[in-house]
Amino acid sequence: MTTGRFIGAREADPKKSSSFAQLRRAVPYMQAMPLAVILGTFLLLPILMIATVSFWDYDFAQMYPGFVTFNYIETLGSWVTWQTYLNTLKFALIVWIITLFCGFWVAYFLAFHIRTATMQMMLFLVCTVPFLTSNIIRMISWIPVLGRNGLVNSALMSTGIVSAPVEWLLYSDFAVILAMVHLYTLFMVTPIFNTLMRIDKSLIEAARDAGASGMQILTNVIIPLAKPGMAIGTIFVVTLVMADFSTVQVMSGGQSASVALMMKNQMSLLQYPAAAANAVVLLVLVLLMVAGILRIVDIRKEL
């Protein structure tokens, strides 16, 4: 009897039931609202402003709001700009290959050759110690090592390997790539190490019991399971290299170029719409690369 009255009361007041259902449906949106506001304010709004400014006109003194495509025509129609983009992609590819190789083996050593978790964490923290200092300081520290009278040239000449200082060690593409590898290898080590630590050791034992060699275990078990960490590290390294201008400017001695350095020079000349157009093109290029990585490797289980 009481149940019947309760059902009747609910049926007699459908407005309250409908309001309650609408409130329940609105709860997830209310929970996501703070994050949406933060992302909209600090991510989407700046990107929208950059895209808007990229269509403005400008001269040596100021910008003129409007809608012109000259900035994109100048960006995409210049062979010098294409060479700069190709040079940036070259840096990204070489640095990615080296950091992936070094980062994987460092993470592999920490995950599988260090037995205790305490020692793993201690060695991992040792790897992070250089990153407690500024990127600029760590980058400039290579100059006395690679310079004409630096440590490397002094050692080579004292041992008789070379009779004159090696000029290409500093202020060259080699110096740029070396500095970038030094700066960004940890961004590859960390996600790969996190992925390797999640691998069930029983899988490796099962493969070993089945007669698999060490190389077969590496190629058929460990590397496939480490792909999400490799993908995350790749995204970190590629985006950082594509946006780096200080390393290219300092370590190349002004003899090399990148898209970020080109945008920095344009902004120093008050050519903000042209720099904004390059920023939009670079953003689209990076997003396409990230989308390609995400299509190949599913990283959702690592997030």
Over residues 63-117, the pLDDT tens digits come to 889 888 889 998 888 898 999 999 999 999 999 999 999 999 999 999 888 888 8
pTM: 0.85
Average confidence (pLDDT) over 193-206? 89
* C-alpha distances out from residue 299 to 235, 240, 294, Å: 11, 19, 7
pLDDT of residue 104: 95
The SS3 of residue 245 is coil
Contact between residue 230 and residue 243 where contact means Cβ atoms under 8 Å apart: no
State how far the Cα of 287 lies from the Cα of 231, in Å rounded to an integer.
Answer: 14
Which is more confidently placed, 273 or 8?
273
Question: Over 90: is that where the pLDDT of 8 sits?
Answer: no
Which range marks the domain in which residue 29 is found?
2-53
The lowest-confidence range among 2-6, 185-189, 283-287 is: 2-6
The Cα 81–Cα 68 span in angstroms is 19
Same domain, 15 and 85: no
Q: Are residues 41 and 107 located together in one domain of the fold?
A: no
Does residue 12 sit in the same domain as residue 110? no
The answer to whether residues 28 and 159 belong to one domain is no
Q: Does some domain include residue 8?
A: yes
Q: Which pLDDT score is estimated for 6?
A: 43
With beta carbons less than 8 A apart as the criterion, state whether 233 and 190 touch: yes
Residue 171 lies in a domain: yes
Whether residues 101 and 177 share a domain: the answer is yes
Write out the two tokens for 220. 């058929």
pLDDT category of residue 26 using cuts at 50, 70 and 90: confident
In this prediction, residue 299 carries a pLDDT of: 77
Q: What is the pLDDT at residue 45?
A: 94
Mean of pLDDT values over 11-28:
69
Number of domains in the chain: 2
Can you say how many angstroms the Cα of residue 250 is from the centroid of all Cα atoms in its chain?
21
